[in-house]
Amino acid sequence: MEIDFVIEKFILVTAIFAISLLIAMYSTYAERKVAAFLQDRLGPDRAGPFGILQPLADGVKMFMKEEVIPANANKWLFMFGPGLAMLCACIGTAVIPWGQDMMIGDRLVKLQVADINVGLLYIFGVIALGVYGVMIGGWASNNKYSLLSAIRAASQNISYEIAMGLSIIALLLVTNSLSLREIVAQQHGWHWNVLYQPLGFIIFMVCAFAETNRAPFDLPECEAELNGGYTIEYSSMKLGFYLFAEYINMFVSSTIMAALYFGGYNYPGMDYMAELLGPTWAPLFGTLIFFLKIFGFIFFFMWVRWTIPRFRYDQLMNLGWKGLIPLAIANIIITGIVIAIVNKF
Amino acid sequence: MESLSNKKKVLVSKPLNLAERLYLPAIASGMATTIGHFFKKPATIKYPEQVREFSINWRGMHSLKRDEQGRERCTACGLCALSCPAEAITMIAAERKNDEKHLYREEKYASVYEINMLRCIFCGLCEEACPKEAIYLDGPIVPADYLRKDFIYGKDKLVEAPLEVK
């Protein structure tokens, strides 16, 4: 282990961490703006030009609030919950390949923190862990609303993880690899996986909405029935962590969808651009394209949230178990048959 | 029973068909609607900087009018007070002196004229009752205040500013 390797990774980790926090921060602003535009309003426009300082003002407000821990709450778990939610949200980006290998001077830099050969499984595990933050927080609050919300979150995530895993299996049949680096590299140019797995993509996307607790699957935090759900007893920055973790999760989900199905840093005409820009700037341009795709997905998340009303709980379960899981299994079978035929002839 | 008006509609709730059960077509049409609104002009009026225009039949704060020569039109007949359903208007009449002819149009005028803005319901009946065209509810919104006594507006607030004499 050379020292420059450590420095390189340290810089990369710091940059990715900072970028994902920044994007999550401005997602809160973007969410309010998108909501406003979709409803013929203006949205926040008082803090700074176009309200661009609004996330800072919100953050300061969160920090300044009084911190309340209910008397009958389990104090340690109560504090552990938001931390776990935040941790799980932040570590998901570690295996994402952000760009092609980049030449800086005569050094080849991988734009990926950890190139592990089961990157997809890692992400799947991290997403599955994410619900524990909600569950622990909801249970430790010692409040019936938050407990109900935690139960809802747990059952919802478990139900949709099955369909999500099945949709990924169909993807694996196409890619023959669990390594995210390889999956993205295979989608060179316009060979994006969404063209081979459109149904799988739709299933994956619906499940991603459910896993991030976003509308129309935001049952764990619905205001009307559960008074805000698992966040009901939380105040100050602990609440801020939960809300923030949701936006980081949204960013991570968008990243994964863009990487798995929409080609990551690949774009049509990338070979031409690689010759034009050289080995240093062409990968960065690919990263830029990647982020544009991610922002597109984040916008899509928000667009959906401000369009579709929340599912009822039984509708949610019906859709998950009777709709998505059979569809995902059918998708696997069809994909398998097609691949078998293609390989035979 | 048979419907006599022929307006009765019998609603039947059918089970969802396949397209409805998939949700996706309905979701797509909903998303098309919302994205249409994304590009529409916002209806917001940024209040402190922009003020929305009043409609032409808006009734706001009262003003006591002057005539072409800048004399107060009110003759303290009391019809406005009488017509007021909220009992918001009071006045004290006084007789015009000889040297006040440039101030008051009629021989009798209101030396005190008070409207209680907390009582007023802005119905505009005083405006209709006035035979001298002396009172109109053509002002802006009555501003907020802290004390009840400050809502009783006297002539200092109600009478129109005098005409500029050049």
ipTM here: 0.70
Nearest-angstrom CA–CA distance, A148 and A159: 16
Angle CA(B89)–CA(B90)–CA(B91) in degrees, nearest 5? Answer: 130
- Whether residue A45 and residue B23 make contact (CB cut-off 8 A), yes or no, is no
- Residue position matching structure tokens 């129309």: A216
- Whether residue A307 and residue B37 make contact (CB cut-off 8 A), yes or no, is no
Q: Collapse the DSSP code of A57 into the 3-class scheme (helix H, G, I; strand E, B; otherwise coil) and give the result.
A: helix
* B23 chain-A contacts, CB cut-off 8 A: 319
Angle CA(A194)–CA(A199)–CA(A203) in degrees, nearest 5? Answer: 100
User: Would you call A57 exposed, middle or buried from its count of C-beta atoms within 10 A (0-12, 13-18, 19+)?
Assistant: middle
CA atoms in the 13 A half-sphere facing the CB of A166: 24
Q: Which residue of B has its CA nearest to A306?
A: B34
Chain B contact for A38 (CB, 8 A cutoff): yes
Check whether B166 has a pLDDT greater than 60: no
Q: Which residue of B has its CA nearest to A38?
A: B38
Nearest-angstrom CA–CA distance, A170 and B59: 69
Nearest-angstrom CA–CA distance, A214 and A212: 5
Nearest-angstrom CA–CA distance, B81 and B105: 20
Nearest to A289 by CA among A275, A308, A302, A274: A274
Check whether B165 has a pLDDT greater than 70: no
Chain A contact for B46 (CB, 8 A cutoff): yes
A264 alpha-carbon distance from chain centroid: 14
For A297-323, how does the pLDDT look when each residue is reduced to its tens digit (9 = 90+)? 999 989 988 888 888 888 888 888 888
CA distances from A139 to A79, A142, A152 (A): 12, 6, 12
Angle CA(A122)–CA(A126)–CA(A128) in degrees, nearest 5? Answer: 115
For A93-146, how does the pLDDT look when each residue is reduced to its tens digit (9 = 90+)? 888 888 777 777 777 777 777 888 888 888 888 888 888 888 888 888 888 888
Structure tokens at A25: 């921060």
* Mean pLDDT estimate for chain A: 85
Structure tokens at A78: 């109560």
Structure tokens at A95: 């295996």
Closest CA of chain B from A173, distance in Å: 26
User: Would you call A155 exposed, middle or buried from its count of C-beta atoms within 10 A (0-12, 13-18, 19+)?
Assistant: middle
Chain B contact for A307 (CB, 8 A cutoff): yes
Nearest to B75 by CA among B115, B114, B112, B107: B107
Check whether A69 has a pLDDT greater than 90: no
Residue B82: its pLDDT value, please? 92
Longest Cα–Cα distance in chain B: 92
pLDDT band, residue B152 (cuts 50/70/90): very high
- Whether residue A40 and residue B41 make contact (CB cut-off 8 A), yes or no, is yes
Q: Collapse the DSSP code of A298 into the 3-class scheme (helix H, G, I; strand E, B; otherwise coil) and give the result.
A: helix
Residue A314: its pLDDT value, please? 85
Nearest to A110 by CA among A184, A215, A24: A184
User: Would you call A266 exposed, middle or buried from its count of C-beta atoms within 10 A (0-12, 13-18, 19+)?
Assistant: buried
For A187-219, how does the pLDDT look when each residue is reduced to its tens digit (9 = 90+)? 887 888 888 888 888 889 888 888 888 878 887
Residue B90: its pLDDT value, please? 92
Nearest to A80 by CA among A236, A238, A231: A238
Residue A137: its pLDDT value, please? 85
How much is the pTM? 0.80
Closest CA of chain A from B13, distance in Å: 17
